[in-house]
């Protein structure tokens, strides 16, 4: 056969060949404290190099860090996504070789890109399961308050607390100012409600405190709010922060590191701690030791509201002295009993009101015309 005819025949065979390309995929899981690897194969019948290149493009992806997911059947487990890259020239060469040899199947070459945080890394650090979670509800919050708490939750999301380390909320959060995206909102300063940047961050610190409390971790520093706010019910499980003077701190005394994750679901803020669960926690409360009636309602003028507007932003709450009890049971038989006492001042409803509408200028009454006098 002439050389030119042979080359044409080879080109025709490659261009219109029907062959099955296969691509090996890998899935890594961390389930019930054990690493598991699943290997599968994706298959695609290709008729040309163009089809093969299109499929290769759909296969390539960046890696994704390990994360914990939940299902009713399996509970909490960690998954990751490795990244894939297919060397195109090598893939085309493998395709052409398979066609030339009359094969029906060939495998694509691949390069696996590991994520920065893999399930294997989680397992090595002792981050294997859900340890505890805290939940609060921010229903009824202003738009600015919601934006602030969402931003603060995002900033601390993914924090890893090494074994033996003390977690500082303020340090994990970083600067709180307008340059970092925070909005102006109403905060409690002493006995007053005033506008300040970052109103709503205490929703996040309170939720973190609940997760640490239910995990049975030693609380190093915690201060309750001055008032019993409805966002933090039940009472006695809140924690205020105001950098650099007031912080929330707790120690990781578990056998491994802890991973702190935040979630917003509707009007609920959730903080979960993943690690190695080595203790059982029981709690009781709130136990009201004292009660005082709420204060009368107050109005605060907000120049951004239309004149005549009256909007309730806080609700009355009684003053109280509250106790919450925590019992921690360790595998070696040790039992630790603790009491957390919080004192709240009475609080009244707060209404934002628009400025008073400007009063119309009074038109001066016309002066009386003097009567003409007869000569």
Instruction: Give the chain's length.
Output: 375
Backbone angles phi, psi at 193, to 5 degrees: -105, 120
Instruction: Give the residue from 123, 143, 164 where a domain finishes.
Output: 123
How many Å apart are CA 221 and CA 248, to the nearest integer?
Answer: 5
Instruction: Give the residue from 123, 145, 180 where a domain finishes.
Output: 123
pLDDT exceeds 60 at position 39: yes
Q: 362 in a domain, yes or no?
A: no
Instruction: Give the residue from 123, 142, 157 where a domain finishes.
Output: 123
327 close to 335: Cβ distance less than 8 angstroms: yes
For the chain, the average pLDDT equals 89
Same domain, 267 and 220: yes
Same domain, 257 and 131: yes
Same domain, 300 and 164: yes
Q: 370 in a domain, yes or no?
A: no
Same domain, 177 and 72: no
Mean pLDDT, to the nearest integer, of 167-187?
90
Q: 7 in a domain, yes or no?
A: no
Same domain, 277 and 330: yes
Same domain, 149 and 77: no
In 192-334, which ranges are E strands? Answer: 192-197, 219-221, 249-251, 258-265, 268-275, 280-292, 298-301, 310-314, 319-329
Lowest mean pLDDT segment, chosen from 109-123, 236-250, 300-314, 321-335: 300-314
Q: 271 in a domain, yes or no?
A: yes
Q: 364 in a domain, yes or no?
A: no
Same domain, 115 and 151: no
How many domains, the chain?
A: 2
pLDDT level of residue 98 (50, 70, 90 thresholds): very high
Same domain, 37 and 174: no
Report pLDDT digits (tens) over 258-268. Answer: 999 999 999 99
pLDDT level of residue 228 (50, 70, 90 thresholds): confident
pTM, rounded to two decimals: 0.80
Q: 212 in a domain, yes or no?
A: yes
Q: 5 in a domain, yes or no?
A: no
Same domain, 185 and 277: yes
77 close to 31: Cβ distance less than 8 angstroms: yes
Same domain, 100 and 132: no
Range of the domain at 233: 125-353
Same domain, 340 and 291: yes
pLDDT level of residue 6 (50, 70, 90 thresholds): very low
Same domain, 186 and 329: yes
Taking alpha carbons only, the member of 235, 226, 178, 229 closest to residue 203 is: 229
Give residue 197's pLDDT: 85
Report pLDDT digits (tens) over 275-334. Answer: 999 999 999 999 999 999 998 998 888 888 899 899 887 778 889 999 999 999 999 999
Q: 90 in a domain, yes or no?
A: yes
pLDDT level of residue 12 (50, 70, 90 thresholds): very low
């Amino acid at each position: 056969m002439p050389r030119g005819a042979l080359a044409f025949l080879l080109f025709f065979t490659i261009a219109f060949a029907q062959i099955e390309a296969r691509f090996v995929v890998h899935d890594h899981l961390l389930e019930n404290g054990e690493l598991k690897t699943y290997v599968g194969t994706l298959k695609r019948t290709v008729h040309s190099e163009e089809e093969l290149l299109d499929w290769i493009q759909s296969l390539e992806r960046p890696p994704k860090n390990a994360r914990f997911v939940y299902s009713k059947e399996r509970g909490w487990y960690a998954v990751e996504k490795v990244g894939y890259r297919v060397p195109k020239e090598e893939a085309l060469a493998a395709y052409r070789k398979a066609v030339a040899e009359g094969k029906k199947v060939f495998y694509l070459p691949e390069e696996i890109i590991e994520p920065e945080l893999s399930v294997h890394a989680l397992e090595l650090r002792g981050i294997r399961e859900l340890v505890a979670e805290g939940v609060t509800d921010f229903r009824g919050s202003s738009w600015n308050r919601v934006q602030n708490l969402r931003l603060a939750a995002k900033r601390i999301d993914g924090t890893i607390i090494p074994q033996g380390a003390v977690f500082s909320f303020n340090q994990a959060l970083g600067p709180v100012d307008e340059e970092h995206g925070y909005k102006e909102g109403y905060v409690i300063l002493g006995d007053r409600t005033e506008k300040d940047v970052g109103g709503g961050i205490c929703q996040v610190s309170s939720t973190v405190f609940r997760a640490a409390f239910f995990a049975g971790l030693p609380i190093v520093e915690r201060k309750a709010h001055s008032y019993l706010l409805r966002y933090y019910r039940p009472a006695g499980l809140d924690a205020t922060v105001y950098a650099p003077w007031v912080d929330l701190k707790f120690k990781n005394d578990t056998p491994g590191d802890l991973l702190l994750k935040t979630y917003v679901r509707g009007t609920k803020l959730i903080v979960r701690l993943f690690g190695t669960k080595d203790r059982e926690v029981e709690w009781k409360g709130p136990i009201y030791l004292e009660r005082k009636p709420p204060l009368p309602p107050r109005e605060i003028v907000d120049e951004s509201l239309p004149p005549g507007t009256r909007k309730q932003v806080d609700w009355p709450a009684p003053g109280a002295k509250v106790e919450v009890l925590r019992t921690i049971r360790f595998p070696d038989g040790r039992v630790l009993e603790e009491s957390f006492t919080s004192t709240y001042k009475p609080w009244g409803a707060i209404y934002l009101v628009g400025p008073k509408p400007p009063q119309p200028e009074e038109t001066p009454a016309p002066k009386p015309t003097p009567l003409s006098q007869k000569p």
